[in-house]
Structures are given as structure tokens and as C-alpha cells.
Structure 1
Amino acid sequence: MSPDATPDPYTDPLVFGQRMQILRTRRGLTRIQLGGLVGRSGEWVKAVETGRLRVPKLEMILRVAEVLRVRDLSDLTGDQSMRVALFTGPGHPRFAAVREAVNSPHLAGDREAPPAAHFSARLARAWSARHSAPNHREVVGALLPDLIRDAQAAVRHAGTIADRKAAQARLAEVYFLAQFFCAYQPDASLVWRVAERGMMAAQDSEDPHAIGLAAWLTVQAHRDSAHLDAADAVTLETLRYLEALLPDAGPDVRAVAGALTVEAGLTAARRGETGTAWRYWDEARGLAEGLPAGYFHPVTSFSRAVIGAHAVTVAVELHAGPESARQAARAEAEAIPSRPRRARHRIEQARGYHLDAQPDAALATLAQAYAAAPETVQYNGYAKRIVLEETESKSPARRRRASELAQRIGLLTT
């Protein structure tokens, strides 16, 4: 390796501080920014990176790992005995079949296209199963391979331009479902392939609803990869496109605009821009209040019931401890009809309580998340960080509760 080359924290035997510096640089964060996000100063970050301070305790290591979106804890620590996947799961048993269906070109034209109404009904049932099944990844993973192949066949066999556009919209929706399944699986590049194919199919459909959804999912992929400028560019351009249509749009398009407005606020919160983040959330609340009572978007979950959950996430992303706890206490989870979305909300509430130094409330809330949708907790890095941290608690009772939950979600073996 050239003496001027950047060391690779994944292969070279580096100490903790060097690994943290490399990973921080790759995320595009300054020392001051990283310090602020973990509750320390830029000078503290510099002292750790240069070795003037010792390796932090597990609590701080996990906090740094969360901010840097470290997928495996050993990538940061260098200690192979600490191999804990945080932002990727162990790989779902259905993942290989879904990946094969996504990657295969399906060039043969001998697959018969299903009737459009029949396929739409199957797709609707798949979304319903995603929201209602506690093991939603298992159910969706079993359905996706055939849905992908049949949706592609429908595009190939479309007889008219109108039929082809409608088929492209259905194919885009299948890719949206696939992106939910592929998230947090051990193949980050597949998430991007699915997102890009969903966007291409949506654009070919010329359907505003599909285009908005494709942008919504692409924004999340950008933000999870720390591409905040790209996330903003997609969000704002798509919102400009949708805003011209809103006066005559139905609730689905208005809900997607609301979901994208939330994403703009979350990206601002990730940057630490408090006023901008809450301004976008307030705009989204206005859009939610304009939706019919009881309405719930089948893909984004945007609704009146979820807008309070978004407030929790904004406060948590801003690392505002007391405000996070206040929003967590206010936001009612039981009104959210989707099991995985309800579980995700519980995880965000737990993050808020943990930020506010209420670890017992955080663990109790994570237990509620697990009861709603175990697979959501098993594949969520924030939940795993909190549980791991509390397995080192000085309180024997809390340590026991955290260890029991860690065993249930697969972090510890019995």
C-alpha cells in the first residue's frame, strides 16, 4: 500500500482512534460535528483519534457507532470478539430467493403475464400482510420472488402504451415492497439496485403517486448512507413536482407529499438544523390534518395517527433529550394500525427515553416494540444499541432485563 493511501479500517490492524477517524471522514463529519452528536466536544474527538484518551467505555462506543452508522461493531473496535451487526441483520432466510429474483434479468418471454386485476389484488394482500403480520419479513419474503417475476412479465407483454404505463406502476410498487424487505440485510448494494429500478419503473409509468413513492424511498437510502445533500435534492425536486398537482390530487398523492415533507425535516434534523426540521414537520402536520379521518397510506404509513410518531423521530435525530422524551410520552402508538410501523415508533420512543437518561422506560418500550413486530426490532440498529448498552448496566435488575431482551432478539446466545 502506498504510504499516502488511506488505511482501511476493515482490513488493517488499526487502533480504535484511527478507525474512528477514518469512519468519521468517510461520513463527511468534522470532529466538532461528531462530538456534538455524541455529547462531547471536538477536542474530545481529537484526543480519542490521536490516542491521547483511552478507548471509551461501551456506552460511548455504541453511541459513536450509531452516529457513524457502523454496520458491525468490530469495524470500529477492531476486536473480532465484538462482532455485533448493528445496522444490518444476520440475513433473513428468504433473502437469497428475493435477491435472485431481483438480480435475474428474466429475459425469457415464456412467463405468462397475470391479469392486471388479479395481480393488483395479490399486491394489495402483500402490503396488508406486511402491516398485519408480526413476522412481516417472512411473509413478504415468501411472496416477493413471484411478484417480481410476474410484474416484469406484465410489462413485457403489455399490448398498449396505457397498459405498459399501468404495468410499470405496479412493477414500481413491487420494488417498493422489495426495498422494505432488503433494508438492513447484508447486501447494501442490493438496496440501491432495488431503489433505482423502482425509480425507473415509476418514471416510465408517469404516475405521480409512484414517482413520489420512489423518491421517498430513495431519500431514505441517501440519508442512511450519509448523502444528505443528495437526499435534499431528491426531496425538494419531487415536492416541487407534486405541489403543482396537489389542488386536484386525491389523498394518496397528498399523503406522499406529506411523507416527503417529513423526510425533508428528518434530513434537516440529521444536520442539526432545529428550526428547519420543525418547520418541515409542521408543514407535514398540516398535510396530515387535511387527509380523511382514519386514512392510512399503505406504503409510507403517513396519516394523522403517525404524525406524532414523526415528531419523536425529529426530536431524537436532533439529539434533544428532554424534548425527545416529551414527544415520546405524547405520541400514542396504539393508534397506528401497522405492526412494523407501530414497532418502529416504539423504537423511536425508546431512543427518546434513552437520550433523556430513562433506561428503564427505554427497555420497557423496546419490549413493547418486540411484542408488536419482533422482526422490526431484530433488524434495527438503534434498538440493538440500547439493549447492548444496558446489558452493561450497573443495575442488576436492568442488566437482567436487557440481557433477556438481547437473547430474544438474537444478540446474545443462551
Structure 2
Amino acid sequence: MSFDATPDPYTNPIAFGQRVQILRTRRGMSRPVLAGLLGMSPSWLKQIETGLIQVPKLPMILRIAETLRVRDLSDLTGDVSAPAELFIGPGHPRLAAVKAAVDNLFMEQRPAPSNEHLQHRLTRAWSARHTAPNHREVVGGLLPDLIRDAQLAVQQAESAAARRAAQATLSEVYSLSQFFVAYQPDSALLWRVAERGMVAARESEDPHAIGVAAWLTAQAHRDSGPRHFDAADTVTEQALRFLDPHLPDADDQVLAIAGALQFETGYTAARRGDTPTAWSWWDKANKTARKLEPNYYHPITSFSRAIMGAHAVTVAVELRAGGESVRQAVKADATSIPSRPRLARHRIEEARGYQLDGQPEVALDTLDRAHEAAPETIRYNGYARRIILEETEAKSPDRRRRAAELATKLGLLAA
């Protein structure tokens, strides 16, 4: 029987082990690879998939869900009576308005704002994203008009140079849109935004715009699962090759996007479990960061000298190295990260490290701090949701209580 004839785990009432096997195969993962990422043996996984071992307890189910990046926990368990979204967060109330602006095909008959005016609004929007705890709400309110105005500016550009400048601005607007759309229940919209951002960046011929669009496209590929890791690498490699001739005389903005792409290559290697390659690319990115002004902070990627400690935590966590994750977390200077959502993301990565290291109490403390920094970041983060749900089943009553409180704040449990 061909794989295409295999029952669909999203629609058919089939056994847990069969669901694991189908989802694993669809992600392009071999049994030894998945077992290794779970810290178990291939024979154990085979017994799970063939039903020789009973369904594991919730902590292991959540680890399998995280590794396979299922859309909803019920996709793995088959229990549709209690869905729990993990790597796809809840749809934001402003998502429909942003989608309508992206999908707008007919331009209004009115003068477009100047590129300078749009750039000023973009600067304010990026600032709001980094400083507002409810950054999705704020950015979601600004995006519809920004998208429509940037599209209009490209259409009405009166010269080739003006059109290229307008395309660079439109590409950056799509970049901001991708931050908003990410981890929401509309993957088709995410890819539409990413592709339009890349098209606009290429039309602009601007190295920075092309680098940013490539950085976001690579992330979209990587977050789609192991079958897309090669595509992510292809994007980053091509972008770095394109940027290389510009680097000797590059300003901090272009240097920073090159460094961000270097780290993305290491991040994907860490997802693969390739330790030497992951740390080699981290080293390259760190050398690039040292070329930046000490206080420089890239407004889109957050790349800077300050972020490299947080990036080291991420590499160690993705490599499942609990002790190294904690060592890097202790070394990292989180207070130097000025962006609230980026700080919250770093706290979540720290929490993953502490849990890997067998320190669940510290992991919960760290997730509390992530929630304080940016509630909307942790609400949409699958790793945080997985840790919290797992701890609601902890043996310790105190941990169960604290996890339940966080789960309620995130909307994972009814208040």
C-alpha cells in the first residue's frame, strides 16, 4: 500500500501508535531519528507504533507532539473532546483584518503616502512591537493600513528608483506582518506573506531587504519540520552568498542581517542534532556581532552583540544539552535585551534548558518571568505551552498548582 493510501490521522479514529507512525513519516523522520530526539530507543518507538506498549503518559505524549510539531494535541491522541493547540496558537482578533489587507487585489483611488512617511510609520510600528507587552494587539491594529498604503505606494511610484524604494518598504511591511501572522491558525497566509515579502525585496534590489526576507523565509521553512530543513539551508546559503560582496563596506544594518542569517544556519543544524556545525555557525555569527557597534540592536531580527548569549542558549536547547543550556543561560545577559517579545522568547528558551536539566521548578519560575515580559509571546509559543501542560501532571502539588495558574493565564485551562 502506498503512503498516500494510509489513513489520515486527522480524520480517522485510529490508534495512538499508528498516529505517531503516520505523522513521523509525513515529517520525513526515520524511527531512529525520532527515538533519539525523544531520548528513547528505536525498539521502544517501534513497540509504541505497533501497539505493543500502552499509550505513554502525558509528559512523553507532549514531547512526541513537540518533536513532530503537531497542530493540535488531539491530532496525536485522537481525543477531539479536549483539543489543546501547541505550535499553532489561538487566532488573534485582528487576524481577519490583516488577512483582508494582504489579500486586497484592488487598489483604492487615492494618492499614496510618501515613502518617507511610510518609513516613519514603520519605525513606530517596530518600536511598538519591541516595547508593548501586548505587541500582537498593537501591531495588528497598525498593519492593515500600513499594508494597503505600502501596496499603493508601489503602484503609484513615478520612477524606477522610487519604485525600488517603495518595494523595499513594502517588503519590510510584509516582514512585520510575518511576525504577527506566525503561530496563528492560517499557515497559507503565513506563506503568502513570506513569498510576497521576498518578491518585493528582490524587486527593490536592496541588500538589507533581501536579507531580511530570506531570514524570515528560512524560519518559515525550518518551522515546517525536518522535511523542510534543506530548503531553509538553501535560502540562508543563497542569501549569504548574495550579501558577501556587500560586507566589506557594509553598515551595521547589513552586517546584522548577515549575522542573523549565519545564526539561522546554526539553528537549523542544531534542530538536526548536528553539534559541530551548529556551534561553528554560532561562532561565525558571534564574530559578525563583534563588528557591530556595542549598543547596536537590529530592529527586525534583534541581532546584536547582546543577543548572542541568548542564541547560545537556543543552540544548546535544540541540541537537547540540558547542562550546557543552563551554563549558557547563566552566562547570558538577559537585561541587555531591549525587546520585550525577544526577552520573553529568551526566557522560554531558558525554561526549556532548565527542564532538560531536571529543574522543573526553575523552568516554571522562568516561564512566569516570560509572561511578565510579554504575555502575548508566551501565549503563542508551543514550547512554553508544552512545558506548562506537562507540569500540570507533575507529582508535586505545588508544581501542579503553579502550572495550572500559568495554563489558565494562557487560556490552556478554563478559569
User: Counterpart of 1:320?
Assistant: 321
Other-structure match for 1:338: 339
User: Using the alignment, how far apart are the partners of 1:224 and 1:218 within structure 2?
Assistant: 10
1:136-195 Cα distance to aligned partner (Å, 9 max, x none): 000000000000000000001100000000000000000000000000111111100000
AA in 1 matched with 2:38: V
The equivalent residue for 1:370 is: 371
TM-score scaled by structure 2?
0.98
Instruction: Report the Cα distance in structure 2 between the residues aligned to 1:211 and 1:264, rounded to whole angstroms.
Output: 16
Q: Distance in 2 between matches of 1:233 and 1:193?
A: 19
Matches for 1:59-74 after TM superposition, within 5 Å:
59-74=59-74
Q: Kindly tell me: are residues 298 and 159 of structure 1, through their superposed partners in 2, closer, same or farther at Cα, counting changes over 3 Å?
A: same
After superposition, the C-alpha distances for 1:342-375 in whole angstroms (9 at most, x for unaligned) are 0000000000101111100100000000000000
What is the letter of the counterpart of residue 174 of structure 1? V
2:41 aligns with 41
RMSD over equivalenced CA pairs, Å: 1.2
Task: Indicate if the aligned counterparts of 1:73 and 1:86 stay in contact, CA closer than 8 A.
Answer: yes
Q: Which amino acid aligns with 1:58?
A: L
SS at match of 1:82: coil
Q: Indicate the SS of the match to 2:5.
A: coil
Is 2:352 the partner of 1:351? yes
CA shift in 2, pair 1:3/1:179, >3 Å: closer
d(CA) in 2 for partners of 1:188, 1:398: 34
- Relative to structure 1, is the Cα distance of residues 108 and 3 closer, same or farther in structure 2, using a 3 angstrom cutoff? closer
Q: How much does 1:82 deviate?
A: 3.2
CA contact (8 A) 2:107 2:152 kept: no
- Greater shift after overlay, 328-337 or 275-284? 328-337
Matches within 5 A, 1:57-96: 57-96=57-96
1:144 equivalent in structure 2: 143
Q: Relative to structure 1, is the Cα distance of residues 400 and 202 closer, same or farther in structure 2, using a 3 angstrom cutoff?
A: same
Q: Given residue 384 of structure 1, which amino acid in structure 2 is its aligned partner?
A: R
Q: Secondary structure at the residue paired with 1:245?
A: helix
In the alignment, is the contact (CA less than 8 A) between 1:131 and 1:339 conserved in 2? yes
2:304 matches 1:293: no
Name the SS for the 2:213 alignment partner: helix
Q: For residue 193 of structure 2, what is the aligned residue in structure 1?
A: 194
1:14–1:207: structure 2 CA closer, same or farther, 3 Å change rule?
same
8 Å contact 1:109–1:156 — kept in the other structure? no
Moved more, 87-96 or 321-330: 321-330
Q: CA–CA distance in 2 between the matches of 1:323 and 1:111? A: 57
1:108 aligns with 2:107: yes
Once residues 75 and 405 of structure 2 are traced to their aligned partners in structure 1, the CA distance between those partners, rounded to angstroms, is: 26
What is the TM-score with the length of structure 1 in the denominator?
Answer: 0.98
Give 2:249's aligned amino acid.
D
Moved over 6 A (4+): 1-4
Matched, 1:26 2:43: no
Q: Deviations over 1:91-134 (max 9, x none)?
A: 001001001111121x2350320022111101100000000000
Q: Size of the alignment, in residue pairs?
A: 413
- Corresponding position of 2:407: 406
The answer for the alignment partner of 1:261 in structure 2 is 262
Pair 1:168-2:180 in alignment: no
Cα distance between partner residues in 2 of 1:341 and 1:191 = 20
What is the correspondence of 1:269-284 to structure 2 with a 5 Å cutoff? 269-284=270-285
Inter-partner Cα distance in structure 2 for 1:282 and 1:197: 32
Q: Secondary structure at the match of 2:74?
A: helix
